[in-house]
Structure 1
Amino acid sequence: MGSFRDGSDRDGTPDASPRATREAPSAEMIRFAERRLASPAFFALFQDGMALVEETAAYLDGEGRAASATLSPGRLAAYVQQSMRLSTRLMQLASWLLRRAVAEGEMAEATARREAGKIDIRGPLRDIDQEALVPDALVALIQRSFELQGRIAQLESALSAPSAVENAGLRPNVVAGQIGRLRRAFENR
């Protein structure tokens, strides 16, 4: 009989016993957070993000442009600054959402990580004082962009942290090691 340590029986075939599979962590562990990238929930997040980008662009090119023409100089400066911040935030969030392209095989994981590394997913805090000076429609878009940013930040945290299953697999099992040594000692008699 093969050793408990190497997980095989006498003829060298892998031992499928629960003890053998518990002892050594699998090299192909499932990262559940990464599987979320291919999930319907992530697809909905992606669609929400892209819809917000399109809605914001339409607002800034149409209704927002018309509204900004009627603003006082101080309010216009706040409008310009807030619309630029909103556009930048949405571009960064859309770039992060490119991870969907990885999940669908359209982009390499390394490329997506490199691009995501350029993004501060937390971003700057809201400027409520300036938001009070701009049209309500722009404030609503800003609020939605921060909500989207929060959802993405939660997913990013889940993706960047090792799962409990991975952590459990990385820790040596002291008891299994002791049992393996005892087994080897008796097998060699």
Structure 2
Amino acid sequence: MMAEQEFHVDNTIRLAERMVRSESFNHLYDEGMSLVEEAASYLDGEGRAAARRLTRVAATLYAAESMRLTTRLMQVASWLLLQRASRSGEMTPDQVLSEKAKVRLDTDSAPESVAGWDEIPLSYCDIVHRSLRLQARVRQMDDEIYNENVEERPLFSTNPVSDQITLLATAFGNR
């Protein structure tokens, strides 16, 4: 008697993967790249002027948050560019996976309860919030496309560097 083999066929429809392959991806791509440009323009212009008017605590927080924002947006842009390259056939799936392994989609933000946050300009806070929402959407799509059995992750992960920067900002505020 021959052993019966079981074949598992995955008929799961991955909506995120279909979205990346569809025309609707262009909207997400455009949103991401526009946000990168908007943040760069803000940090180079209006944000630079606003940062000069902040207290030392708020200026430290603003500098740290600017680094996190820039990192977050560059990582999201990298992911979007990889998906576009895959979609257009410029990269093979293996090449995309290899490069995607370098992309981090978990750059968090300082908690809004930290000292100095209330001094940060609202227009900058809006950019930060939109970047966090965009990162969360991209991370959710990434998980659905590339990680089959992903456990639920918190929306914002713990980042030891961020924790240290927050501690430094708090320490400077107590001087």
- Give the TM-score of the pair, scaled to structure 1: 0.65
Task: Quote the residue 1:159 is aligned against.
Answer: 145
Which of 95, 101, 105 lines up with 2:89 in the alignment?
Answer: 105
Q: In 1, are the aligned partners of 2:65 and 2:109 still within 8 Å (CA)?
A: no
Return closer, same or farther for 1:115/1:132 CA change in 2, 3 Å cut-off.
farther
Identity of aligned residues (%): 38
Alpha-carbon offset, residue 117 of structure 1: 1.2
**Residue 35 of structure 1 aligns to which amino acid in structure 2?**
R
Cα pair 1:52 1:145 within 8 Å, conserved: yes
Superposed structure 1 runs of 4+ greater than 6 Å apart: 23-27
User: Do 2:17 and 2:141's aligned partners in 1 also have CA atoms closer than 8 Å?
Assistant: no
Count of aligned residue pairs for this structure pair = 141
Gaps of 5+ in 2: 1-5, 150-175
Equivalent residue, structure 1, for 2:119: 133
Gapped regions of structure 1 (runs ≥ 5): 1-22, 164-189
* Alignment partner of 1:51 is 2:37: no
**Alignment partner of 1:69 is 2:40:** no
8 Å CA contact 1:82–1:131 kept in 2: the answer is no
Cα separation, partners in 2 of 1:141 and 1:40, compared to 1, 3 Å? same
- CA RMSD between the two structures: 2.6
Q: 2:148, 2:71 → 1: CA distance?
A: 30
Distance, in Å, in 1 between the alignment partners of 2:78 and 2:128 is 18
User: Alpha-carbon deviations, 1:19-67, whole Å to 9, x = none?
Assistant: xxxx97779x796443321212222111110000000000001100111
